[in-house]
A and B are shown apart, each in its own frame.
Chain A
Amino acid sequence: MLPFLLIVLLSAVAQLFLPWWSIALVAFGVCFWRSKTGWLAFSAGFLGIAVVWLVYAFLIHVQTDGILTGRMAELFFKTKTPIFLLLITPLIGGFVGGFAGLAGRQVRAVFTAKPE
């Protein structure tokens, strides 16, 4: 739970100043620091980023009456409904976060003393 919360918090702050791919660094770093298994690391990274992206995207969508979301949905999916756009956004962010989290965990495993 802690890695997930940390990723949410740190990535949200990092993205205010750094390029979008800083989410990978955050997920990697947090999971390198602390994660139990590969699966948990992936989940923490995936969900941590996906939640931040989903919440922010949804807030923007609502605040702006969905003017742009509607147009982008039409551009990408030939439909006015923003559902797909609001799904694919956290999915993409989530994959980047998830794989970075997994990588953080696996790299850390190389340095852990405990033999397999």
Chain B
Amino acid sequence: MKVLKALLSLFISIGVTVALNQPWGSVPALGRLLSPFEGFWQNAETVGQSSEQKISVKGAREEVTILFDDLHVPHIFAKNDFDAYFAQGYATARDRLWQMEFQTHAAAGRISELIGDRAVELDRYNRRLGMAYGAEKSLEGMSNDPVSKSVLDAYTAGINAYIDQLKPADYPIEYKLLGYAPEPWTPIKVAFLLKQMTQTLAAGADDLMMTNVRQQLGPALTANLFPDYPFKEDPIIPVGTRWDFTPVKLPAPPPNIETDSSVVLNWQPHDPGIGSNNWAVGPEKTAMGYPILANDPHLTLSLPSIWYQVQLVTPTMNVYGVSLPGAPGVIIGFNKDVAWGVTNVGADVLDFYKIRFRDNRRQEYWHDGKWKPVRRRIETIRVKGKPAVVDTILYTHHGPVVYLPEDKPFRNNIPTGYAARWIAHEVDNGIKTFYLLNRAKTYDDYVTALSYYVAPAQNFVFANAAKDIAISPNGRFPLKWRDQGKFLLDGTKAANDWQGWIPAAQNPRVKNPPRGFVSSANQSSTDPTYPYYINWEFETTDRGMRINQRLTEMQNVTVDSLRHLQNDVYNHQASKFLPVLLPYIQEKDLSDPQKQALKTVRQWNYQQDTASVAGTIFVDWISRLEDGIWADDFPDDANRPLRYPNTDRTLQLVTEEPTSRWFDNVQTPNRQETIQEVVTNSFRATVDSLVKQHGPLGKTWAWADHKGTSVRHLIPGLDAFSALNVQIGGGRGIVNAAGRRAGPSWRMIVQTGPNVRAYGVFPGGQSGNPGSPYYLNMLETWRKGDLYELLYLKSVTEKSPRIQSTLQLTR
């Protein structure tokens, strides 16, 4: 009896303990998680604590001092370059370790290791895209350059010095919730992080949809509805800028460029919420007589924050700005002489080639009149709690065959597949660009730095205290015939291959233009006089035009007036559309609530602010109007995806072609619809749907509530660690581009001059720890459109009341 009781109680005790020490499905190990000694409690950080710490770490060469200011920005003072990057790795890992590792896991197709087979398809997609292949190429490029290699090694050593001293109780909270542990950092993870950026910014493609469109409409109508240059445009390089180079010979298109699309490629198009603004105002237009530079990159608003501010000081460098957690150096920032920023170019650097295999063994493929060997790459996806999934990816000289016919239903006998030719597969030494920019003193240094850059192509804006301003859509651009890659390409013809590169020195660039400012907002890089082809379609020009209008008008520009411009919520698109659309509305067909809504829209001043009701109506209306015009001609078919002409073309249609056939609904053969009907019906549907959603017209229709901007934690559904329904105006196509899920991820303004002063903010905080007072502390400042002065220290001994704590790293 006693023995039985003893055994039973032992069994219960051990059972309870073991059960609480392991996760159950998505429920984490509760005993471990709730233990105040080891669990989430240990991640809680004390507010406003100042401290002086001295830590001995393996790998530092000499003593490094890190001063943390009141926003928890590390100011790193090192005696040599190695230690500076070592300390950057250490400090970044201290604040962002989980994020750094998670993002690189995602890029590498390793999420299944963390959350199980739910993520296998996502991981497979990333691997099929050749992310690992591309990262290896990048690492090769960085390792071949002694400077980049040393930077990479130092940064890696710093991160590992931090990881090495962690006990499980110190792990960031996400590890505790998901139940895993950090692994050592390796240089290739830096490459993965940069590949992920390229994937975000330069992997959108609608080649398949365009091919289907061309099959349906024929080449002439396709060219008419999907033109290579917009109806309204104000390109980044001002019209009239002379090209001071002799272009290399352009490749000729093959005689027959028709292709078909025989497999379904559900490729995601570029997210229009992701874009950016930057500009630099020349000395003659500023109050102080020195250039001012501004930049706000728009990315998915996520937590931990995308950017991490840092100041790096060595005897030969003193740079401040934002870095990407997981990559060494400063990406957007300034030093005492220069400032720079970036926006996305949106070049067409991803093309699809239809591959014809010799037979079903797929050992050879046909290209340029020869059978060429297919290379095989094995990708092993490890899966938590399940056996690993092995995927064999076929590589041609174009790149990986992303889709094979058997992946989707397929009838044709000829074995085919589509290979992706993508800039991210190139050998790449992009961190060298930032290494050089961080140390740049002159315009020439900027030009040299840019020549190393590959992808994702960026509009690099520049200003310096020597009173120069400049901008350059820059990256490695494939040398193409016009429209090459607008549609799917036939992979058997050599003429369809990328034919080398646009020489780096001939990338579009302008220095000190007569108008006294330079700017970019993802619109067309140049006007059609530029001799090379970069892409046929760019982001809509609305933000760019608004910025240029304002900068043209502005005189005696200050940091504060540019801050207002960054927060401008004027809806430029509405200002173009509404004067055209409103006269077409047939008022007699409207109900009372619809009339009331019409009145609201008519009285609108185009300010897309938080309380705007007209703004809510307009945004919804435009999307219904586009459906009204195009949905019948480009019906939604999962097996044959099509796309609409862009909004700029729609504007041209309503403005210049009011009797066009496209207003007629082809699905109603007995009726001939007119522009009046399409405009009126889409307006009525908009109002009816908004009434259904929010009740009668009034405060509940306010734009900020309707839009619901949120800054979300990287783990989907983790609302408790997110900021929801942030009350901010603006949105897609507006200078203050705060959309539902994407928006200004960093705002910076730099006043150059003998004493550089800079200001910045991002929607989150320096710490990635939800238990830190620095996790979301900057959000409110960001929301209100204010900026913090960035503390630019000249030396380690400079006294500043903003310094809160000191961390010394010693050998």
Which A residues fall within an 8 A CB radius of B?
15-16, 19-21, 24, 28, 38, 53, 56-57, 60-61, 63-65, 67-69, 71-72, 74-75, 88-89, 92-93, 95-96, 99-100, 102-103, 105-107, 109-110, 116
Ordered by A's residue number, 22 sampled pairs between the chains whose C-beta atoms are within 8 Å are A15-B35, A21-B21, A53-B36, A56-B36, A56-B41, A64-B45, A64-B46, A65-B773, A68-B40, A68-B44, A68-B173, A68-B770, A69-B44, A71-B771, A72-B720, A89-B36, A93-B34, A99-B9, A103-B10, A103-B14, A106-B2, A106-B6
Cβ–Cβ contact B40 & A74, under 8 A: no
Instruction: Tell yes or no: B378 within 8 A of A by CB.
Output: no
Interface residues of B in 713-764 (CB under 8 A from A): 718-721
Instruction: Please give the distance in Å from A45's CB to the nearest CB on chain B.
Output: 9
Instruction: Tell yes or no: B31 within 8 A of A by CB.
Output: yes
Which residue of the partner chain B has the closest CB to A27?
B13
A95 to B18, CA, bound (A): 12
Cβ–Cβ contact B3 & A110, under 8 A: yes
B773 proximity list for chain A (CB < 8 A): 65, 67
A16 proximity list for chain B (CB < 8 A): 37
A116 to B9, CA, bound (A): 18
Cβ–Cβ contact B35 & A20, under 8 A: yes
Tally chain B residues at the interface, Cβ within 8 Å. Answer: 43
Instruction: Tell yes or no: B5 within 8 A of A by CB.
Output: yes
Q: Which of A15, A64, A68 has the most CB of B within 10 A?
A: A68
Instruction: Tell yes or no: B676 within 8 A of A by CB.
Output: no
Cβ–Cβ contact A96 & B721, under 8 A: no
A107 proximity list for chain B (CB < 8 A): 6, 9-10
Which B residues fall within an 8 A CB radius of A?
1-3, 5-6, 8-10, 12-14, 16-17, 20-21, 30-32, 34-47, 168, 173, 718-721, 770-773, 775
Looking at the complex, which one of A60, A75, A93, A99 makes contact with B721 (CB distance below 8 Å)?
Answer: A75
**Besides the known contacts A69-B44, A96-B31, A99-B16, 14 further A-B residue pairs in the complex with CB atoms under 8 A apart:** A20-B21, A24-B17, A60-B36, A60-B44, A63-B44, A65-B47, A68-B43, A75-B720, A75-B721, A93-B34, A93-B35, A99-B17, A103-B14, A110-B2
Instruction: Please give the distance in Å from B610's CB to the nearest CB on chain A.
Output: 24
Which residue of the partner chain A has the closest CB to B18?
A21
Cβ–Cβ contact B13 & A99, under 8 A: yes
Instruction: Please give the distance in Å from B717's CB to the nearest CB on chain A.
Output: 10
A106 to B32, CA, bound (A): 26
Cβ–Cβ contact B39 & A67, under 8 A: no
Cβ–Cβ contact A53 & B35, under 8 A: yes
B41 proximity list for chain A (CB < 8 A): 56-57, 60-61, 68, 89
Which residue of the partner chain B has the closest CB to A95?
B16
Q: Which of A60, A63, A65, A71 has the most CB of B within 10 A?
A: A71
Instruction: Please give the distance in Å from A24's CB to the nearest CB on chain B.
Output: 5
Which residue of the partner chain B has the closest CB to A66?
B44
Looking at the complex, which one of A19, A75, A88, A106 makes contact with B9 (CB distance below 8 Å)?
Answer: A106
Cβ–Cβ contact A103 & B9, under 8 A: yes
Which residue of the partner chain A has the closest CB to B47?
A65
A38 to B5, CA, bound (A): 10
Cβ–Cβ contact A92 & B3, under 8 A: no
Cβ–Cβ contact B46 & A71, under 8 A: no
A21 to B35, CA, bound (A): 9
A75 proximity list for chain B (CB < 8 A): 718, 720-721
A99 proximity list for chain B (CB < 8 A): 9, 12-13, 16-17
A116 proximity list for chain B (CB < 8 A): 1-2
Instruction: Please give the distance in Å from B47's CB to the nearest CB on chain A.
Output: 5
A24 to B17, CA, bound (A): 7
Asked, given contacts A67-B44, A71-B771, A72-B720, whether A109 binds B38 with beta carbons under 8 Å apart, the answer is no
Instruction: Please give the distance in Å from B98's CB to the nearest CB on chain A.
Output: 14
A67 proximity list for chain B (CB < 8 A): 44-45, 47, 770-773, 775
Shortest Cβ-Cβ A-B pairs, 3 listed: A68-B771, A75-B720, A20-B35
Looking at the complex, which one of B14, B39, B46 makes contact with A20 (CB distance below 8 Å)?
Answer: B39
